[in-house]
Amino acid sequence: FEGTTMLIGAFLLTTMILWMMQQRHIAKEIEGKVEKHLMSSQPLFSHLGIFMLIFIAVIREGVETVIFLNALNYASGINFIGGTLGIVMAIVVGYLFFVSTRKINLKRLFNVSSILLILFAAGLVAHGIHEFEEAGVVSGIVSPLFDINPILNEKGLIGGFLKGLFGYNGNPSLLEVIAYVSYLGLIFLVYRRVESSKIKATA
């Protein structure tokens, strides 16, 4: 169950990452369409449509938050206090973002956040595979592949932080390493494809 939760969380996070890659300039387009519908001859349906769009988006984010917090809790024992603090910090960052939008380099912000989300999702994939190994569902092939816990213990302060955020494991199996690297490689290929399609579209 824990492994499945982590893989579902990684899947949902991946869909969001891919959407962010493809829709970086969607804000102006949405704003224009909203204004067009609000000025239409059927304002009731326009308002209802906007309400349903926001309602569904908030519900989806709420479901993702629950799954991510459960996955984090399974992966590193992070409790809901940490999740609550994270939500509070997100509110503060969001407020600062909206009051000083012109001072923020949005392209750089999206690039940095995308990299962090990709590493987080890769950690969930690898840790999900680890849980399946412990349950005897799959074989780790070579377990452990190496052990660097004496240098950077996954239960220590820094190691625990890296484990909770990026799925760090001081003694992973070969299958975990393959899953982690394969996920990063797949995302990189998709990113290159998205960027090349944008270049062709603007050419």
pLDDT digits (tens, 9 = 90+) for 133-160: 999 999 989 989 999 999 998 888 788 7
Q: By three-state DSSP, how is residue 10 classified?
A: helix
Supply the pLDDT for residue 133: 93
Pick from 10-14, 40-44, 84-88 the range whose average pLDDT is largest: 10-14
- One-letter amino acid at 6 equals M
Greater confidence, 79 or 88? 88
Q: For residues 64 and 66, what is the distance between their CA atoms, to the nearest angstrom?
A: 5
Instruction: Give residue 79's pLDDT.
Output: 53
- pLDDT classification of 37: cutoffs 50, 70, 90: low
What percentage of the chain reaches a pLDDT higher than 70?
65
What are 113-124's pLDDT values in tens digits?
788 888 888 988
What value does the mean pLDDT take over residues 16-38?
Answer: 65
Return phi, psi of residue 156, to 5°.
-80, -175
Residue 39 has pLDDT above 80, yes or no: no
Q: Which tops the pLDDT comparison, 177 or 99?
A: 177
Which residue's structure tokens are 């220590």?
156
pLDDT confidence tier of residue 180, bands split at 50, 70 and 90: very high
DSSP single-letter state for residue 101: G
Q: Can you give the pLDDT at residue 48?
A: 74
Band (pLDDT 50/70/90 cuts) for residue 181 is: very high
Dist CA 42 CA 157 (whole Å): 58
pLDDT at residue 69 tops 70 = no
Rounded distance between C-alpha atoms, residue 98 and residue 101, angstroms: 5
**Residue given tokens 């923020």 in the structure block:** 104
Q: Chain-wide mean pLDDT for the chain?
A: 77
Residue 62 has pLDDT above 80, yes or no: no
Comparing 39-43, 77-81, 167-171, which segment has the lowest mean pLDDT? Answer: 77-81
From the CB of residue 167, how many other CB atoms can be counted at a distance below 10 Å? 29
What is the distance between the alpha carbons of residues 90 and 129, in angstroms, rounded to a whole number? Answer: 29
At 105 the pLDDT is 66
Q: Is the pLDDT of residue 46 over 90?
A: no
